[in-house]
Amino acid sequence: MKTHSYLAQSRNGVYYARFIVPKSLRVSGDLRREIRVSTATKDPRDAAARARALRVLLDQMFYSGALCSRDPFDDADMKTIFESPYMVQAQYLHAYQYWIPLVSAFTGARIGEVSQLHIADVIEIID
């Protein structure tokens, strides 16, 4: 059975989840690029489910402001993004390069959330 790329099986059969530490959070003297956490199971499906839950917890920890602070875009930042030649002159190679920033700006969703949307997830609401 094929496992996910973020899961690794130890020699005793227990699965470990591997998570990449964002570059902005790495300490210069610390060379660790990833965090390995045991899922405490030998079942690959259970390990994948536990790894997803761990990913959510790590993302909350990484981006909650406890470890780093991310300021929201202000009006000048938004103007820089959407008035850039890249957007104005349609220099993008794929449609998602145009739509993901627009949907993210309109909804407040993160890029990762928007990139996982399917056409069926988008509906038109008529007032």
- Domains of the chain, by residue range, sit at 7-63, 75-121
Q: Which 8-state DSSP code applies to residue 42?
A: S
The per-residue pLDDT for 4 is 65
What integer is the mean pLDDT of 67-90? Answer: 78
Tokens of 57: 């917890």
* Section 88-104 average pLDDT: 83
pLDDT number for residue 98: 84
In what helix (H) or strand (E) does residue 34 lie, and over which residues does it extend? Answer: strand 34-38
Q: pTM for the whole thing?
A: 0.45
Query: Do residues 15 and 7 lie in contact, with contact meaning Cβ atoms separated by under 8 Å?
Result: yes
